[in-house]
């Protein structure tokens, strides 16, 4: 049996000049599991990911992986503990090759360059970019840039990956293809995946559990079918004119 790991987020909060962007949010994520972090625009999803991955200091709360407190680990070292992320806005080095971009993820966790190159090439091939390995990232379509970002995250051999709107900017077909790929990943690689996505149909079919934020607070969590029927969730989404 594969190792089971747990990421625990315990009562994290963050204020920006008096605005409680994230207010006492807790959740856990196990390897092999897909958790959807959803909520209207501005509800605190990105701020939550920023705090969990060490990119933004928390006002309070704790982050643990298998009971080990990583609350004060600096962002650049968090991947060493098995936690990586991708960004709502793509962040690739456009002048580097796709291989080099993906290698950064591996080298960042201490994998030697030679092994990193082999791993990066294999991940790019797995994601369908095997023939673009040595091209500069700037030549890629938007969809392929998103895949390179995903490959870079996976190159750190993570236990947990947090994807902030990975389908942003993709058309419907590209989005469906990406989600089909994402659905396979957690079981295939024994990774716990947290994903932020606005499309309710997609998120419902992808995720094992959902965690819903509104104005920085948790308003519901649980199985997709239960969360969908939750009156507070329905009101929050109607209020934001999303479906």
Residues within the interface to ligand ADP (CB under 6 A): 16, 19, 21, 39, 41-47
Contact range with Mg ion by CB under 5 A, out of 12-20, 43-51, 177-185, 221-229? 43-51
Strand partners, 163: 86, 195
8-state DSSP, 194: E
235 to each of 46, 65, 104, 139, 207, how far by Cα in Å? 21, 34, 43, 43, 21
Shortest distance, CB of residue 152 to ligand ADP, whole angstroms?
A: 21
Q: Is 97 in the site for Mg ion (CB under 5 A)?
A: no
Q: Is 86 in the site for Mg ion (CB under 5 A)?
A: no
Q: Pull the structure tokens for residue 167.
A: 């389908």
Contact range with Mg ion by CB under 5 A, out of 40-48, 77-85, 154-162, 183-191? 40-48
Nearest one of 37, 10, 91 to 203, comparing CA atoms: 37
Shortest distance, CB of residue 163 to ligand ADP, whole angstroms?
A: 13
Shortest distance, CB of residue 84 to ligand ADP, whole angstroms?
A: 18
Contact range with Mg ion by CB under 5 A, out of 41-49, 95-103, 107-115, 225-233? 41-49
Sign of CA dihedral 223, 224, 229, 230: positive
Residue with Cβ nearer ligand ADP (198 or 209): 198
117 to each of 73, 95, 97, 105, 113, how far by Cα in Å? 27, 17, 12, 11, 6
Q: What is the torsion angle, in degrees rounded to the nearest 10, for the CA atoms of residue 216, residue 220, residue 24 and residue 15?
A: 0
8-state DSSP, 136: B
Residue with Cβ nearer ligand ADP (50 or 98): 50
How many secondary structure helices (H) and strands (E) does the chain include? 8, 10
Q: Is 46 in the site for Mg ion (CB under 5 A)?
A: yes
Shortest distance, CB of residue 215 to ligand ADP, whole angstroms?
A: 8
Beta strands in 157-203 (DSSP E): 160-164, 192-196
Shortest distance, CB of residue 24 to ligand ADP, whole angstroms?
A: 14
Shortest distance, CB of residue 93 to ligand ADP, whole angstroms?
A: 24
Residue with Cβ nearer Mg ion (45 or 159): 45
* 98 interface partner picked from ligand ADP, Mg ion, none, CB below 5 to 8 A per type: none
* 47 interface partner picked from Mg ion, ligand ADP, none, CB below 5 to 8 A per type: ligand ADP
Residues near Mg ion (CB under 5 A): 45-46
């Amino acid at each position: 049996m594969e190792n089971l790991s747990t990421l625990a987020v315990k009562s994290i909060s963050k204020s920006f000049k008096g605005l409680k962007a994230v207010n006492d949010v807790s959740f856990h994520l196990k390897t092999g599991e897909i958790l959807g972090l959803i909520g209207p625009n501005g509800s605190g999803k990105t701020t939550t990911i920023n705090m969990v991955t060490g990119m933004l200091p928390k006002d309070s709360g704790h982050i643990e992986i298998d009971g080990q407190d990583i609350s004060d680990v600096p962002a650049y070292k968090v991947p060493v503990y098995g936690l990586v992320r991708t960004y709502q806005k793509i962040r690739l080095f456009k002048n580097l090759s796709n291989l080099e971009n993906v290698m950064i993820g591996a080298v960042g966790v201490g994998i030697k360059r030679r092994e990193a190159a082999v791993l990066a090439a294999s991940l790019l091939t797995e994601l369908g970019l095997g023939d673009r390995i040595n091209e500069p990232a700037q030549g890629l379509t938007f969809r392929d840039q998103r895949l390179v970002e995903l490959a870079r995250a996976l190159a750190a051999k993570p236990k947990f990956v947090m994807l902030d709107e990975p389908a942003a900017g993709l058309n419907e077909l590209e989005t469906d293809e990406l989600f089909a790929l994402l659905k396979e990943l957690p079981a295939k690689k024994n990774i716990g995946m947290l994903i932020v996505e606005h499309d309710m149909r997609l998120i419902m079919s992808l995720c094992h559990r959902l965690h819903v934020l509104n104005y920085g607070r948790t308003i519901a969590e649980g199985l997709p079918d239960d969360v969908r029927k939750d009156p507070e969730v329905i009101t929050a989404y109607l209020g934001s004119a999303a479906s």
